Amino acid sequence: MNLKKLVESAHKAKRNSHSPYSKFRVGAALLTQSGKIITGCNIEVSSYSLTLCAERVALFKAISEGYTRFRAIAIATDVNEFVPACGACRQVLLDLAGNIDVILSDGKKRTRHVRLKELLPMPFDDSMLHHP
């Protein structure tokens, strides 16, 4: 896996962020099992609850294009600290992408590598939906 290319793709996607209210730009780059990179950025509207995070945009785009198996996601921001996916994105990623690698990249393009389950310990999953 070319982590540098994945991280660069996330930073490039961040440029398309539509964040007029928070001014908090986020880009995401999702690596499919076949090696394709699908990107997304955060898209805000005046009603914050209708806003979409970069991670979900990238994942939903990938699935809508027929990709269902993933290896990693890079998440890039402008701030000089590592910003993980929000709780909603962590749950969606776990459900639809599994315990993939997560590469966090800050405004200086430094990186930190974790597994998704490190960011979402004790997750709710489909095994809990089955009743005896």
Q: Which residues are catalytic?
A: 55
The 10 Å Cβ neighbour count of residue 128 is: 8
Tabulate helix, strand, coil % of the chain (nearest 5).
35, 25, 40
Q: How far is CA 84 from CA 36, 73, 109, 113, 116, in A?
A: 22, 11, 14, 11, 10
Sheet containing 26-32, strands listed edge to edge, beginning at the edge strand earlier in sequence:
37-41, 26-32, 70-77, 101-105, 111-115
CA atoms within 13 A on the CB side of 57: 23
